[in-house]
Amino acid sequence: MSDLDPSILSALQAIVGADRVLTDAAALTSYGSDWTRVYTPAPCAIVLPGTIDEVQAVIVLAAAQQLAVVPSGGRTGLSAGAVAHKGELVVALDRLNEIVDFNAIDRTVTCGGGVITAQLQEFAERQGLYYPVDFASSGSSQIGGNISTNAGGIKVIRHGMTRDWVVGLKVVTGTGELLDLNRGLIKNNAGYDLRQLVIGAEGTLGLVVEATMQLSRPSGNTSVMVLGVPDMGSIMQVLATFQNQVDLLAFEFFSELALQKVIEHQALQRPFDTPTPYYALLELESATEAQTEQAMLLFERCVEAGWVLDGVISQSVAQAQSLWRLREDISETISRWTPYKNDISTLISRVPDFLIEVEAVVEREYPEFEIVWFGHIGDGNVHLNILKPDELSMEEFQARCGSVSRWVFEIVQRYGGSVSAEHGVGLLKKDYLHYSRSAAEIAIMREVKKAFDPHGIMNPGKIFD
């Protein structure tokens, strides 16, 4: 049960209603954690405001009481950014889940911070439009959380990150003040763009309570190809070959071990009989017969060059969905092994050499561990997943992986890359932030946080202490 001061509990209940403040053990565990399993959730209470005014009132109260606040969206994060493990108050935005406005001329939709990603995608589709930021957790992740982590996903190569689609934000700062940022404008050079500071800030600057998102026209018919390749260098040759000739919507990769795990646990079929060290998954427009023929010609060119050993192209929507599952089901499949995840990136052109160095360190230090590689290689982002053996305790496993992570991040630093390409920093990566950000940058970040959150109550301990 919660040990929240009764007077604060009563004040919260007065703001949102008695049934909207949760203190039972099940709620504290559920709302106090995300998809990471490293920290034991221990929030003091969960509050579920239903309006922006209620959010403001909760934050004003928290600031007055010096009560730390952890924002909670869909809790699908992988860096412990939404974990409350030190008695914090969790502010969950589940009830801010309405589509507020739609503008057909501007092709924008305004929605509450608690709107589910798939809900926004479905709304856009009903208007004959398209919201292109997509990932495996779209059925449970929330727009506010996506914005707070600048979520990427599988279509970045064509459509960019979440920040590229946010044209307006309403944010409640650490003082309870409501900021209305950019207001849907396409062109606005009137001073600093505070909206972009909030995007990717992991709730450390404020709570995203409402967002205006840009929509696009939908793509035409698409096809999915899965290609078996002998090495990482060949994957990059395939990327260059296709990217110069066709419009790619996605370019993903995964390893043979990743494929084995998915096939074994998701009842899927191999895309073709030939096992290969790595696989590339491409999605490309195929609205015309000429586009399909061009894709096949490029495939044949890659085979002749030795960059592709085998491959398949979808012949139906159902087959395309099945091929996508080979990549999209990896995270869910390997979650049973509580993997230690490194979400790293560098320039696309440097990925092959980068991975060779990282793989050498990992194989040397983890000879008995299973290593699963996959990622959005078309934008330079790869995911290194080390699977926990059943016989190892979580503490020992984390300690071993953490020590080797420093060597991995030294390679990341030499390649001018990022220790967190899309999952955020949270609790898990904050000790490694200096591998990607200079001391001067981190000092400026701290000053920015003070300006938005002078009381230091907004998601404290995330990104940096």
The amino acid sitting at 175 is T
- Indicate whether 172 pLDDT > 90: yes
pLDDT of residue 2: 63
Q: Where in the chain is the domain with CATH 3.30.43.10?
A: 6-94
Q: Where in the chain is the domain with CATH 3.30.70.2740?
A: 338-421
The residue among 380, 396, 391, 381 whose CA lies nearest residue 340 is 396
pLDDT of residue 403: 84
Contact 180, 170 (CB under 8 A): yes
Q: Which CATH class is domain 6-94?
A: alpha beta
- 420 DSSP assignment: B
* DSSP H or E run through 103: strand 99-103
- Indicate whether 62 pLDDT > 90: yes
pLDDT tens profile 189-221: 999 999 999 999 999 999 999 999 999 999 888
pLDDT tens profile 399-418: 999 888 999 999 999 999 99
Q: What is the share, in percent, of the chain residues with pLDDT greater than 70?
A: 100
- pLDDT category of residue 96 using cuts at 50, 70 and 90: very high
- Indicate whether 463 pLDDT > 60: yes
pLDDT of residue 35: 87
Determine which of 41-55, 100-114, 127-141, 188-202 has the lowest per-residue pLDDT on average. Answer: 127-141
Contact 213, 160 (CB under 8 A): no
- Indicate whether 440 pLDDT > 70: yes
- Indicate whether 71 pLDDT > 70: yes
Q: Which residue has the higher pLDDT, 35 or 450?
A: 450
β-partners of residue 47 are 21, 91
State if pTM tops 0.85: yes
- Indicate whether 1 pLDDT > 60: no
Exposed/middle/buried for 7, CB within 10 Å: 0-12, 13-18, 19+?
exposed
**Exposure of 246 in the CB half-sphere (CA atoms within 13 A):** 28
**Residues ≥6 apart with Cβ < 8 Å to 400:** 365, 366, 392
- pLDDT category of residue 263 using cuts at 50, 70 and 90: very high
Contact 213, 131 (CB under 8 A): yes
pLDDT tens profile 153-168: 889 999 999 999 999 9
pLDDT tens profile 128-155: 999 999 988 899 999 999 999 999 988 9
Contact 251, 258 (CB under 8 A): no
- Indicate whether 3 pLDDT > 90: no
B/e letters for 156-189, b = 16+ CB within 10 Å, e = fewer, are bbbbebbbebbbbbbbbbbbbebbebbebeeeee
Rounded Cα–Cα distance for residues 222 and 251 (Å): 13
pLDDT tens profile 122-133: 999 999 999 999
- Indicate whether 185 pLDDT > 80: yes
Q: Which CATH class is domain 222-331?
A: alpha beta
Assigned CATH topology for domain 338-421: Alpha-Beta Plaits (3.30.70)
pLDDT of residue 9: 97
pLDDT tens profile 299-318: 999 999 999 999 999 999 99
Q: Where in the chain is the domain with CATH 3.30.70.2190?
A: 222-331
β-partners of residue 370 are 387
- pLDDT category of residue 270 using cuts at 50, 70 and 90: very high
pLDDT of residue 38: 86
Rounded Cα–Cα distance for residues 88 and 457 (Å): 9
Q: Which two tokens stand for residue 63?
A: 């600031």
If you average pLDDT over every residue of the chain, what do you get?
95
Rounded Cα–Cα distance for residues 112 and 212 (Å): 9
Determine which of 118-127, 360-369, 456-465 has the lowest per-residue pLDDT on average. Answer: 360-369
- Chain-centroid distance of CA 363 in Å reads 27
pLDDT of residue 404: 85
**Strand 340-345 vs strand 381-387: parallel, antiparallel, or unpaired?**
antiparallel
Mean pLDDT of the 37-44 span: 92
Q: Which two tokens stand for residue 237?
A: 């040759």
Q: Which CATH class is domain 99-214?
A: alpha beta
